[in-house]
Structures are given as C-alpha cells and as structure tokens.
Amino acid sequence: MEANPPLAGTAALITGASRGIGFAIAERLGQLGARIAICARDASALEDARARLHSSGIDVFAMPADVSSSQQVSSLVEKTAAHFGAIDFLVNNAGTSTFGPVHERSEQEWDTVLDTNLKGVFLASRAVIPGMISRRRGHIVNISSLAGKNSFAGGSLYCASKWGLLGLTYCMAEDLRAYGIRVTSICPGSVATDFGHPPSGKDRRKMLQPADVAHAVEMVLTAEPQSFISEVLLRPTQKP
C-alpha cells in the first residue's frame, strides 16, 4: 500500500474482475487505498482473485454475479453498499465476444455479447447512480475499446456493443455532470489477456498489458474534482 494513498476512504466496484484487465484495475485501486468490490460469473476464479487481493492487504468484497441479470446486479450493488457504506467508483469492465462474419453469427451470440457489454453497463450504472446523486459525487468508468471507433472483418457483434457503449457513456456524462458525477470511457487496443480476440499473430510482448489499462483508470479517478477526462484512447507504443 502507498503512504497517504489518494483513494483512502473510498470504495470501488469493478465488474468482470476475476482476471485480466478487471483484476489489474482492482489491484491498482486497492493499492491506492480504495476498498474493493469485485464480481465475475466464475465463482472459483472470483474466490482466487479475492484471496490474492486480500493477501496484498486490500480490503476486498467478492460476489459472483452476471451483469446481464438485473436481479443479480441489484443484489450485487445492494450488498456492496451494505458492506462498504457507499460506492464511490464503478468500473464497468465485464465483457465478452464472439468473432466471425455477421451472417454466420446466431441470435444467441448477439444477445450474449450485447447483454454483457452494453446492457450490463446500463444495469450496473443505473443501480449505483441514485446513491451517487444523493451524495453529489462519484465516478463511473466504462471500459470500451478501440473497436468502438474502428471496424474490422469479423467484429460486427463486438464493434456494435462497443460503439453503443461509447454512445451510452457520452449521454450518461451529460445526464450526470450537474450532480458532480463524472463518466469516462477508456478505449484500449488489443490487450495481452486470454479474452477471445480473433487470432491475429500479434506479438503479445508488444501488446498493451492489463496494468496499462489500470494506469489509465488511476489517472482518470485521481483527476481534480473540477474537471473530468471524458475519454482515453490507449495504444501500444509499437504495433504488435
């Protein structure tokens, strides 16, 4: 833990945090002094993540949840708030995808991707916003992607979800800024995780790392309160 951590006394909820980007964000915000709530669908992986964070001295609460379920999201937010008293930061990180030509994708695949990547952000944000409004402060960070700004063959479902997420994020920012609530989108390029990106032959050593995305989250959450960073585009120094 850092001396005089800048996020001491705050609480952050990170979705999809059992591994990869979500875990890196949870770990970094915990190092900055925040109390951390994490969720994921895989209970076993989530418990492993909780144990790793706890062993690092981070105050962590973990609860399995599927962000596409309004009931599970409501329960997650209620229990997190009961555990920590308030949720200062929400990081919507949970995501999934399937890749391939649009005419070969199924309706179920469409529903799974859009429900997780877009509806899940809506449900989680809607659940935490009333508490943030009552306190007239808070910050929501949506982990989008450069795929929300660029098209590529086989990416129709994923790009649709991330383009939609950017539109949702920008509108949320306008809805909430009068209450002192900041909303930010972070758009990384390909990150070296086991997320289901299509085979590309990219050099993983040159790709973004989960810690790079966590650093971007740290940057936006520690900005001075009179301003907010509305969007971050994150690219590797060298093309993989």
pLDDT score of 1:
62
**pLDDT single digits (tens) 119-169:** 999 999 999 999 999 999 999 999 999 999 999 999 999 999 999 999 999
pLDDT score of 193:
85
Question: Which is it for strands 11-14 and 35-38: parallel, antiparallel or unpaired?
Answer: parallel
Identified catalytic residue from 23, 84, 122, 158: 158
- Please report how many Cα atoms fall inside a 13 Å half-sphere around the Cα of residue 5, on the Cβ side: 18
Distance CA 142, CA 93 (A): 6
Query: In this structure, how many other beta carbons lie within 10 angstroms of the beta carbon of residue 218?
Result: 16
Q: Are 23 and 210 in contact (CB under 8 A)?
A: yes
3 inside domain: no
Let me know if 158 is a catalytic residue: yes
| CATH, residue 54 | 3.40.50.720
127 inside domain: yes
Tell whether pTM > 0.85.
Answer: yes
2 inside domain: no
1 inside domain: no
Amino acid identity for residue 66 in this structure = D
Count how many domains the chain has. 1
Domain boundaries, position 179: 11-234
Query: In this structure, how many other beta carbons lie within 10 angstroms of the beta carbon of residue 42?
Result: 12
**pLDDT single digits (tens) 178-219:** 999 999 999 999 898 876 555 566 787 889 999 999 999 999
Structure tokens at 152: 């590529």
143 inside domain: yes
150 inside domain: yes
Query: In this structure, how many other beta carbons lie within 10 angstroms of the beta carbon of residue 175?
Result: 12
174 inside domain: yes
112 inside domain: yes
